[in-house]
A and B are shown apart, each in its own frame.
Chain A
């Protein structure tokens, strides 16, 4: 046994060696996945024996080790903060709704809304004690479990940066990024779609590439864009999967799932169904039921999508999880083969991957502590089953039709769990969905056309649907079924519209309808007060309130593919990139825009289709880019607060600060970006947009793939695209409302937390030269100062590369406003500074002198200056 004297060295080597030994290829895509304080596991002898009666209903309340101390710090997220915002509801929250609260309902999907006068009838399942609103904990959770649940929820919303272990490659910076809709633990819109990537070889083998078969969009390395592996020749889109009720699914005995198998269709009903397996256990999670354990289903994505390394939970921690997950005491029962049988019968969660995950990003592994992992897994396991609505005449008629159509052959109403019926409306088995849905991704036993029956509880609130999100609505989802379900699909299509509406009403009654949103704004979200973030900058008239609200709804809504989004896009809504800390805010590193181009001997050539390298496409593949590009650059999403004021500053006032011909490269100059139209550019990292109206058109076209109407003198945006939706794909009225909403977003108020330090810092801000570019000349009607001259400066180091944009040269960047800075990390145009101090340290060129003066300040003065900046 080792001695403590060598433990530090040993631990480092052990982790790496162990992982090499185990080879991490067990971390398969979308789910399976794979420890903490760096200390070796404390024990080799689990302390719990096989319980005499293997009831799964018992709540483990052991107070044995480990101590479950709270370790998390809440980080503001869209989900948490958007709660204070509003959209007019289409229906009362207690009534299931078929029409989303805002516009953009795809054609052909309209269904009648059930009459509010319908009297709900008694729900046969409502008293099961397992239901809650989406995002609620299980009602049966103990007080200790509730505390763990809350800690886990905080971790799910935590934004990770490179110091925390994010990367080196990543798709997202938090768990909630993909599981936010309508609340933490849910799904996400298309802007969180991701790609599974494989190399299919001549011998038929299909090798996961990327990171364990997942294509990361970003890297912390140069350029910020993770390239596609050259060997990739098979891609498949995945839309994030909701977690509601997964603990109940994890508890199901294997034979409860297996008894519904009919792999050879012995009963000749046209429906087969077979289990997938993971490490010898019946799989139950993931689009292809490729993963058996929730721990694995969390550790895998943590590594594959965030680059966060973890150690497997120790046996002691597994013993404390809400769903029994601890292995048996092998030492006490070494000669009994019963262990394996019993584990398979009831404790499948024990099959979580046992390998640590490791990377080489300079942050010690594991990057997420075992305590945090424990809380996160517990959070998932404790998420309540979506509470079904009380049945109505309409939904009951729909339930009957659901059965008559044969839907229930796969979407079986309930499986028998240890707590009683688990009405997930899934058999958790694989079914052949035909070439219509085939993604050609083999996973375990699942073939390229086989998918797990997706649970339907809570389905009302988690659009889009199907594995790749191709279905905008439930109606679409049914019509896009294939294979074994073709007969049911066709039978549905043959129903009259009223009967179809009954089916939809039934599906929407399975939970979540009262939390459904067109974006992330919850139903009835009020408009914040004047002057606060996401609220208007002044009192609005009644008419303006309606316009502001409409504009906010347009800003928030997730656009469906059928609504014209694409063919390529970065976001499916404005909010998709602008949500930190609230709607209209900045974006984290995982929504950075990637720009690219070719640089030859200082001459920049923009790609024919523009410099944006979009992340997503509706074509089930990563969008192509200019293959000759040799320059990539990420662009952080800046907040929109106060842009209406910036737009209103007279051009002459901005031009008055210009000093474009200063020959001293280290002197502060400042150049206005005069656009080809003759207008003064003032918005965007390159000051390349003259107004919010143009900004809206530009973003709609280039970030969302939405064509815009031809309006007056406005010239930005795309009027036509190649998708099937008629152009323009947004109305002039919606655009006007959107622009009004953005124009009226109040600038951030300055905080005064330590007025003495901030006052001293403000003096230093002037003294070291920060205010040479971050000028104090402009003051909004509310008294807010943006601290920008809206001019272009060169603050990048010599030898750096960038993107030319019109008259803005390779390395020129517009002085970004500093108001609200502390609320909107990361910083700099490429989002690669995660703290204000790091951002200052990256100032070069014209800002070199100021940076050096900052660095020469005393610790106290530096602190005061930072306090001032962060108070803005």
Chain B
């Protein structure tokens, strides 16, 4: 991605030179831009800019796309020297336009993965192994499945709509009895006998729930009366251990379990919190927002909220180290964020405009993003790219 810096008011604007196509859309003729080195002060009008581009790459026409070759990409890169072109390194791992929403995935790190989602009334569990995708025949009906997590390849849990929770014992998936009928949005397995599930009916419901599985049955965990108004659902749960569990949900609600009780926390966020992940009790990131993005980080002492940005809402977060978190959200948003400073390290071009709901790094060296159109008929996508040292 190249950028043109708008001289008034010194704002970056983008020209994309990707996939062999350059785009400079509808530049106002009177606009002024700085070209060349990012610190240079060579001001040109949009028309002059186009002239420069044309001289460098004669086949390029202004205000419309042109198919151009690599040499022209290079020429344009020279014009905008110092502003690197980013590769499109996300690929479509699975086109789920016939399968349904792709809601989340989890694996033990051997390159295999469980992926859940499906259609609203017809949930799906997929297995990704050695680059091949297989959809399981469950043998029973289950609605959309929202989240999957486990402790081992023989102990995996998936939660979904209508209060459904499924368990994989290494051989088969079976439905477990739960005390709820509202959707299960998030699930986290600390140990085979210490599994948390959260959910609620966000529109028509009034009471969110947290469930706990002790290895034998699911039961309601005792949660305090939520002081924050309008909270009818928790959307995700994450734990660093048996005595450090967090649930996040509607209207920015955060609950913390210290091994004995749940406490409601206030992190200063008003919009829904959709995702949470961390590396330990002193490195936790939450994301969410609807109209605009929300990101906040907990360092063991306090929560820091990112200033409001131009980004749309965020849904999923994953990290494996303390200096970068991977975040996904609306319309194919995929970001890398420094959790300490909450600065955006990079925004990756991705080959989809679907909503990205979750992201999960596979310890074998891949990171996957899971997306959906959240419309009818249900469609989804799974994206994949390699994890680099910087990830």
Contact = CB atoms under 8 A, between A and B. Distances in A.
B230 A280 contact: no
A340 B332 contact: yes
Nearest to B305: A204
Interface string B4-22: 0010111101101011010
A207 B6 contact: no
A336 B18 contact: yes
A359 to B, nearest CB: 9
B228 to A, nearest CB: 6
Interface stretch (B51-59, B107-115, B131-139, B306-314): B306-314
Contact of A341 (B23, B28, B201, B290): B23
Interface string B170-183: 00000000000011
A277 B292 contact: yes
Interface in B21-50: 21, 23, 25-28, 30-31
Contact of A201 (B11, B203, B204, B228): B228
Contact of A338 (B8, B19, B30): B19
Contacts of A72: none
B252 A445 contact: no
A290 B269 contact: no
B97 A44 contact: yes
A335 B308 CA distance: 30
A10 B121 CA distance: 8
A24 B31 CA distance: 39
B252 A205 contact: yes
A428 B274 CA distance: 31
B19 A261 contact: no
A207 B229 CA distance: 7
A339 interface: yes
A2 B120 CA distance: 11
A618 to B, nearest CB: 27
A608 interface: no
Given A44-B97, A280-B310, A261 B120 contact: no
Contacts of B330: 279-280
Contact of A207 (B201, B270, B349, B379): B270
A262 interface: yes
Given A207-B251, A259-B8, A280-B330, A21 B144 contact: yes
Given A229-B229, A341-B23, A360-B204, A259 B376 contact: no
A201 B253 CA distance: 11
A679 interface: no
A39 B376 CA distance: 10
B44 to A, nearest CB: 14
A331 B380 CA distance: 11
A442 B308 CA distance: 11
Contacts of B309: 277, 445
B63 interface: yes
Contacts of B352: 330, 334
A510 to B, nearest CB: 23
Interface string B231-268: 00100000000000000001110000000000000111
Interface majority SS (helix, strand, loop, mixed), chain A: loop
Nearest to A200: B270
B161 A341 contact: no
Contacts of B233: 23
A53 B66 CA distance: 10
A22 interface: yes
Contact of A335 (B143, B228, B351): B351
Given A25-B251, A346-B25, A330 B9 contact: no
B375 interface: yes
Given A205-B252, A206-B270, A277-B312, A255 B27 contact: yes
B71 interface: no
Interface in B300-355: 308-313, 330-333, 349-354
A203 interface: yes
A328 interface: yes
Nearest to A19: B203
Interface string A181-219: 000000000000000000101111111110000000000
A534 B200 CA distance: 55
Contacts of A327: 353
Contact of A26 (B11, B95, B267, B290): B290
A22 B292 CA distance: 15
B65 interface: yes
A315 to B, nearest CB: 9
Interface majority SS (helix, strand, loop, mixed), chain B: loop
B285 interface: no
Contacts of A416: 28, 30
A796 interface: no
A115 interface: no
Nearest to B185: A21
Given A16-B204, A418-B26, A331 B97 contact: yes
B330 to A, nearest CB: 6
B176 to A, nearest CB: 21
Contacts of B310: 275, 277, 280, 282, 445
Nearest to A357: B203
Contact of A277 (B65, B272, B311): B311
A278 interface: yes
Among A23, A255, A267, the one with the most B-chain Cβ atoms within 10 Å of its Cβ is: A23
Interface in A36-74: 40-41, 44, 50, 52-54, 56
B375 to A, nearest CB: 6
Nearest to A232: B229
B65 A279 contact: no
A24 B205 CA distance: 12
Nearest to A230: B229
Contacts of A56: 26
B353 A17 contact: no
B19 A41 contact: no
B202 to A, nearest CB: 4
A253 B30 CA distance: 14
Nearest to B25: A345
A519 B84 CA distance: 60
Contacts of B27: 255
A202 to B, nearest CB: 6
B9 A231 contact: no
A258 interface: yes
B353 A340 contact: yes
A22 B103 CA distance: 12
B271 interface: yes
Contact of B120 (A17, A54, A255, A442): A17
A20 B266 contact: no
A513 B300 CA distance: 62
A346 B26 contact: yes
A610 interface: no
B252 to A, nearest CB: 5
27 contacts: A2-B119, A17-B121, A19-B203, A22-B374, A23-B250, A24-B202, A25-B202, A26-B291, A28-B290, A40-B376, A44-B373, A53-B64, A205-B228, A209-B230, A229-B229, A263-B9, A277-B310, A280-B310, A331-B97, A336-B18, A337-B19, A338-B21, A341-B16, A355-B374, A416-B28, A444-B291, A445-B309
Given A25-B250, A253-B28, A290-B291, 13 more contacts: A20-B204, A21-B144, A24-B202, A40-B377, A204-B266, A207-B251, A253-B26, A262-B9, A279-B312, A312-B375, A336-B19, A337-B88, A340-B331
Minimum-distance CB pairs A-B, first 6? A203-B266, A280-B312, A337-B349, A345-B25, A279-B312, A23-B202
